[in-house]
Structure 1
Amino acid sequence: MLSKVLISFLLAGTLSLCASSPPTGSITVGPEGQYPTLSAALTDISSNVYFIYGTIINERVVITRPNITVYGQTSGESTYAENLATIYNNIPASAAGSGEASATVSIHASATDVKLYNLNIANTYGRGSQAIALSINSTRFGAYGINLTGYQDTLLTMNGLHFFSKGCINGAVDFYVIDQSNIMGAGKQYLGRPWRSYARVVFQNSVLGSQIQPAGWSEWAVASPETDNIFYGEYNNTGPGAWDIARVSFATNMTEGLTMDTVFGGSTSWVETDFL
């Protein structure tokens, strides 16, 4: 649906956690590091902090330990655009056996409290199958300055609380609360389409481009609209694609926005405050 979604809950604040060099005591990855790949480095449990030098690595990473922090080298403090470390694969779900198994980076349920900073993560398979860049099945996961690239199902978020800030998600099919973001793309597009019942998506305080259809949202299909139990909300957006009188009947023009406390049920102490 959306060609690009720039996700950030809140854009205010000064960032101080970007890494241009390895944090003290971290395990290093890349041409100048101790290990050639992040997967190899994760077998070293002498530290829970990992640093990836500017490099491009073809691998599939599975994180199973809690409290892991991974920094990618970057030359900028406030944007994914200056990330220097890239991890990619081109495995489709049709070959891997499932979407999760195709993911370039997979965060398992046991890996709670994982944080990723300033990494480019891509699945380059392209058209023809689901092919996940990042899969998350744990709670209290934070992605800061992360650039995700794929085609179908770039991001797979399953169980738990997940926070994305100062990052970018590129894809063409399937994209939760999206706050203070720029929604960009080519051609004409919808904000969302319900693949299953009970979808809940809110766009708020964001700039919606002219590529957004006046209807805003699409049913799944005429014979099976899947709109009975969904919530598609919009609040305080601007731009040519913002709320229009032609919006579909199953969309809601909200009178009040959602807060991070509301979305996460009051559990926010794990969110990196420098990215708020």
Structure 2
Amino acid sequence: MHPFTLLLAVLGSLATISAADINTTCSGVNARITPSPGAIVVDSMGAHKGSFRTLAEGVSNLANTTEEQTIFLYPGVYHEQVFITPLAGPLVLQGYTCNTESYADNQVTITQAKAQRDIPLNVTGDRNWATSTLGLAASNIKMYNLNVANTAGKIGGKVGQAVA
């Protein structure tokens, strides 16, 4: 057998095993791997028809309604700062996960790096709000299986102020 053919056979079997493992481990009552009907879909790769590439785009496409709306996020790291203003109705933010019972299985992260040092000095008022990764001004939001992080680093060797 040629070395290249052997390599292809090995890689092909690994791909088959991985696909089988995913289907076996990522199913059941605790998996959230597909959007609910009518959900706004966010997919950083754009692989799903009609999806938005950022959460901010998904939020900007929310309808002005008192009905509950859902934004479903496919796996990925979304590098953005998002503010959700007051809404007429409830909102559900649902991240892709194979197991809703463990945050360790979350496959969606929303992150950015902004600290107090990044806010212009002439900005007064709520400067913490200006550093937040996900600012929620609405009181009727439920979030499931999303990691939210502000990765603003140290300032002069000291911990900097940053709100996730």
Q: Normalised by the size of structure 2, how large is the TM-score?
A: 0.65
For 1:118, the aligned partner's letter is: N
Cross-structure match for 1:57: 78
Whose helix proportion is higher, 1 or 2? 2
Structure 2 portions without partners, runs of 5+: 1-28
Post-superposition shift, 1:95? 1.4
Quote the sequence identity (%).
29
Matches of 1:53 and 1:117, distance apart in 2: 13
Post-superposition shift, 1:77? 2.3
Classify the secondary structure of the residue corresponding to 2:60: coil
For 2:82, the aligned partner's letter is: V
Which of 93, 106, 122 is the equivalent residue of 1:83?
106
RMSD over aligned Cα, in angstroms?
Answer: 1.7
Provide closer, same or farther for how the CA distance between residues 61 and 24 of structure 1 changes in structure 2, counting only shifts above 3 A.
same
Q: Which has the larger radius of gyration?
A: 2
Q: Do residues 99 (structure 1) and 128 (structure 2) align?
A: yes
For 2:36, the aligned partner's letter is: P
Q: Normalised by the size of structure 1, how large is the TM-score?
A: 0.40
Does the CA-based 8 Å contact 1:18-1:118 persist in structure 2? no
Matches of 1:86 and 1:65, distance apart in 2: 23
Cross-structure match for 2:17: none
Matches of 1:44 and 1:54, distance apart in 2: 20
Post-superposition shift, 1:17? 6.8
Which of 104, 112, 125 is the equivalent residue of 2:152?
125
Whose strand proportion is higher, 1 or 2? 1
Matches of 1:17 and 1:102, distance apart in 2: 33
Does the CA-based 8 Å contact 2:81-2:134 persist in structure 1? yes
Cross-structure match for 2:34: 21
Q: Which runs of 4+ in 1 moved over 4 A?
A: none
For 2:147, the aligned partner's letter is: N
Does the CA-based 8 Å contact 1:29-1:41 persist in structure 2? yes
CA offsets per residue over residues 91-121 of structure 1, 9 Å max, x none?
A: 112212511101000011xx12111100011
Q: How many residue pairs are counted as aligned between the two chains?
A: 116
